[in-house]
């Protein structure tokens, strides 16, 4: 029996758990802290994802064979280094490698040094200098980003000098993001459509996964504020086979070589957030050092290769022996969120419709918890309804059939997940 500890509590971690449960090997799963869905797959342990010492003690005491890190915070804090010092097996990049997501300036510098396509940028710690740059540059929109981790809220797309100055002031003077905003980068606005491609790497080879597309805005037709992601589908025709090859050759391979040349061992997932312009040019919007959410909920169900075998090959640096096999189906995920999200929302609402069973459809839990025998809401993104079918349209229909049978007070969701695909066909 292989004992696995999965760190995190979102839809991503539930989806990783489901994929690991399907492994040919027998597994016992632990989630820290997990949600009401992961509790049905394994045991939830009440330790937070950033309580590195608590997680370390649990992994030792419980003889965990491998720990898998879902979110970025513990990776950027150096959980992998801490576990490895104690000779524990853990899946994810170490602290040095995790700077790729932990510092936008570091990532931009690496991309620039190794000719990985990305928007031009300047870094600032000084408020006046940043303001002067905005004034002299005088091009809008312009993008202002806090250097460090800001839970997805550190990016402002400013459409005027006033908005840009406000964003700079909030970061550098008002310390809105605390230490994460001591430095900012100001970068050119990229126009186009976004896609996400994840890759597995063992530091020697890098294997890209299928391309997915997230739906970041809260409202139908990509309206309203950005969220963590309101739905996704995979594969996306936005990324043509030629572009996919180009991403491998001009982004993933050079990135791996960059890490090798810098003497940094990168093992785990690389997440390439791509902008694809109307003319087919590809640029990196950001790299992340973990699986994305909700995209993971649609990528992993299409992966036919045993996920645990892949994780083990990464650990032993034998990923070259593996070739990824994929289903030819399409998968779609509709996120059900709490009314008010991405701003303030209420929690603790009982959820109904969770026990329905439909073939090729899974209800993935994100912000849910057990409360006196009921499952209630406990976050902004509450559930992901994931369906797969031979055609994307059928997967979309199936996912919405299940969605309409789920309810909780003030439940919201987008009704157009996956429709963008038609624009690219």
Give which of ligand GLY, ligand AMP, none residue 190 binds (C-beta under 5 to 8 Å, depending on kind).
Answer: ligand AMP
| Dist CA 209 CA 308 (whole Å) | 15
Cβ proximity to ligand GLY, 134 vs 231, nearer residue: 231
Contact positions with ligand GLY (CB under 6 A) in 187-226: 214
Q: Pick from 421, 361, 354: which is nearest to 389 by CA?
A: 361
The listed partner (ligand AMP, ligand GLY, none) that binds 412, CB under 5 to 8 Å by sort, is none
Contacts of 109 (CB under 8 A, 6+ apart): none
Paired with 5 in beta bridges are: 30, 67
Q: What are phi and psi of 120, to 5 degrees?
A: -65, 150
194 binds, among ligand AMP, ligand GLY, none (CB under 5 to 8 A by kind): ligand AMP
**Residue 229 lies near ligand GLY (rule: CB under 6 A):** yes
* Residue 229 CB, nearest approach to ligand AMP (Å): 9
> Which of ligand AMP, ligand GLY, none does residue 202 bind (CB under 5 to 8 Å by kind)?
none
Give me the phi and psi of 54, to 5 degrees please: -65, -40
Binding of residue 45 to ligand AMP (CB under 6 A):
no
**Smaller CB separation from ligand AMP, 187 or 312:** 187
**Closest residue (Cβ) to ligand GLY?**
292
d(CA 82, CA 62): 17
Stretch that binds ligand GLY, among 27-35, 102-110, 156-164, 291-299 (CB under 6 A): 291-299
Binding pattern to ligand AMP, positions 166-195, x when CB under 6 A? ---------------------x-xx---x-
Residue ranges of alpha helices (H) inside 30-171 are 52-61, 72-77, 79-85, 99-102, 104-113, 127-137, 161-168
Residue 144 or 336 with smaller CB distance to ligand AMP: 144
Q: Please say which residue, 155 or 354, places its beta carbon nearer to ligand AMP.
A: 155
**Residues touching ligand AMP, count (CB under 6 A):** 13
Q: Which residue lies nearer to ligand AMP by CB, 155 or 324? A: 155
The tokens describing 271, both together, are: 């997440």
When CB distances are held under 5 to 8 angstroms depending on the partner's kind, the choice from ligand AMP, ligand GLY, none that residue 285 binds is ligand AMP
- Long-range CB pairs of 341-348, under 8 A, 24+ apart, other chains included: 341/218, 341/227, 341/380, 341/381, 341/412, 342/218, 342/225, 342/226, 342/227, 342/228, 342/380, 343/225, 345/380, 345/410, 346/377, 346/409, 346/410, 347/376, 347/377, 347/378, 347/379, 348/376, 348/377, 348/378
Quote the CA–CA distance of 218 and 402 in Å, as a whole number: 20
DSSP H helices, 263-349, are 295-299, 307-315
Our CB check for ligand AMP shows the closer of 230 and 395 to be 230
Site for ligand AMP contains 140 (CB under 6 A): no
Pairing of strands 43-44, 27-33: parallel
Contacts of residue 404, Cβ cutoff 8 Å, sequence gap at least 6:
none
Of 172 and 285, CB closest to ligand GLY: 285
Q: Determine if 295 is a binding residue for ligand GLY (CB under 6 A).
A: yes
Using CB under 6 A as the binding rule, whether residue 292 contacts ligand GLY is answered as yes
Binding interface with ligand AMP (CB under 6 A): 119, 143, 145, 155, 157, 187, 189-190, 194, 216, 273, 285-286
Binding interface with ligand GLY (CB under 6 A): 214, 229, 288, 292-293, 295
């Amino acid at each position: 029996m292989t004992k696995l500890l999965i760190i995190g509590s979102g839809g991503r971690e539930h989806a990783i758990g489901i994929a690991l449960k399907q492994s040919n090997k027998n597994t016992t799963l632990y989630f820290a802290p997990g949600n009401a869905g992961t509790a049905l797959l394994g045991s939830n342990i009440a330790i937070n994802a950033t309580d590195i010492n608590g997680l370390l003690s649990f992994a030792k005491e419980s003889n965990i064979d491998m720990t898998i890190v879902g979110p970025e915070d513990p990776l950027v804090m150096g959980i992998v280094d801490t576990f490895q010092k104690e000779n524990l097996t853990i899946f994810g990049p170490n602290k040095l490698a995790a700077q790729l997501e932990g510092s936008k300036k570091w990532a931009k510098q690496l991309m620039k040094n190794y000719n990985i396509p990305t928007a031009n940028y300047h870094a600032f710690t000084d408020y006046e200098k940043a303001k002067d740059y905005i004034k002299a540059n005088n091009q809008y929109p312009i993008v202002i980003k806090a250097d460090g981790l800001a839970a997805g809220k550190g990016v402002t797309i400013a459409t005027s000098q006033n908005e840009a100055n406000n964003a700079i002031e909030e970061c550098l003077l008002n310390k809105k993001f605390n230490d994460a905003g001591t430095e900012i980068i100001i970068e050119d606005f990229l126009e186009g459509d976004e896609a996400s491609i994840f890759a597995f790497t063992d530091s020697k080879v890098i294997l890209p996964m299928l391309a997915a597309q997230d739906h970041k805005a809260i409202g139908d037709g990509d309206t309203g504020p950005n969220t963590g992601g309101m739905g996704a589908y995979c594969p996306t025709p936005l990324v043509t086979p030629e572009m996919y090859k180009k991403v491998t050759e001009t982004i993933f391979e050079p990135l791996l070589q960059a890490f090798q040349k810098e003497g940094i061992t990168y093992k785990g997932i690389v997440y390439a957030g791509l902008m694809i312009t109307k003319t087919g040019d590809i640029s990196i919007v950001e790299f992340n050092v973990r699986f994305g959410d909700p995209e993971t909920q649609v990528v992993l169900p299409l992966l036919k290769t045993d996920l645990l075998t892949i994780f083990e090959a990464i650990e032993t640096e034998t990923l070259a022996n593996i070739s990824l096999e994929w289903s030819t189906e399409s998968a779609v995920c509709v996120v059900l969120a709490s009314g008010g999200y991405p701003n303030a929302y209420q929690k603790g609402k009982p959820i109904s419709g969770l026990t329905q069973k439909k073939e090729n459809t899974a209800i993935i839990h994100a912000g849910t918890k057990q409360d006196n025998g009921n499952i209630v809401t406990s976050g902004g993104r509450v559930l992901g309804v994931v369906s797969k079918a031979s055609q994307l349209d059928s997967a979309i229909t199936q996912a919405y059939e299940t969605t309409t049978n789920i309810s909780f007070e003030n439940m919201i969701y987008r009704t157009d997940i996956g429709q963008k695909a038609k624009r690219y066909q």
